[in-house]
Amino acid sequence: TWGRSRRALPTMTRVRVGTINPWLALSNSLDNDELRARLKVEWTNAGLVGGLLSTFSFPACVSPANFINFDSQSSLDDNLPRLYGTLMGLSFVFNMISAISSLALMGQLNLVPRTEVTEFVKENHSVILVPGLTLAIGGLLGVAGLCIATYLIYGAPVLETLSVFSGVGLLYLLKTQAQLMRTSKTMLKSQIS
């Protein structure tokens, strides 16, 4: 497995540095079979997670909980339940687009001959990103809706506590990603020399 990971390391560096769309860079550096396998894994993951998130957001937009706040301080509190329903509805739509586009792209990929996968990626490089991008947008909209629900149900102190923990978690993830990038650069330099 070390031989495969040694070949993958320069590919990861070229993907990160060379282009905005990583699939274009990968199409230049991977053979057709490996590229097909990676696309299928990417779309399978996006489709499954998009479908799963849709099952959470659909009930929230069709029959939202009855958020009644008798201690409403402003007109903003009156509009928050409507905003919650809108965000969860948009989350449902984007997550379903992710799941459906994943299925459609895998169906198209299955029709592509084995020797032409690279050309398929180059001709459709912008469409290939749709499942992942719509999944990210749908996930963020769902999290925003859940933050509003948390505020409406439990009030500001619980929301502030969750925000602090979420911020700490995000900083930890960013720190870990930076450490991984430094490690990959060090490994790449040691391979070159």
| Residue carrying the six token digits 């991008």 | 133
pLDDT at 154: 81
CA angle 54, 57, 61 (to 5 degrees): 130
pLDDT of res. 188: 47
Give the pLDDT of residue 97.
Answer: 96
**DSSP letters of 151-180?**
HHHH-HHHHHHHHHHHHHHHHHHHHHHHHH
pLDDT digits 0-9 by tens, 76-88? 567 788 888 899 9
With contact defined as beta carbons under 8 Å apart, do 85 and 144 qualify?
no
Torsion, Cα 48 27 15 40, to 10 degrees, reads: 10
Q: Give phi and psi for 2, each to the nearest 5.
A: -65, -35
pLDDT of 76 reads 57
What is the per-residue pLDDT for 85?
87
CB-based contacts of 144, cutoff 8 Å, min separation 6: 87
CB count in 10 Å sphere of residue 98: 29
Residue numbers in the chain where pLDDT is lower than 70: 1-20, 64-77, 180-181, 184-193
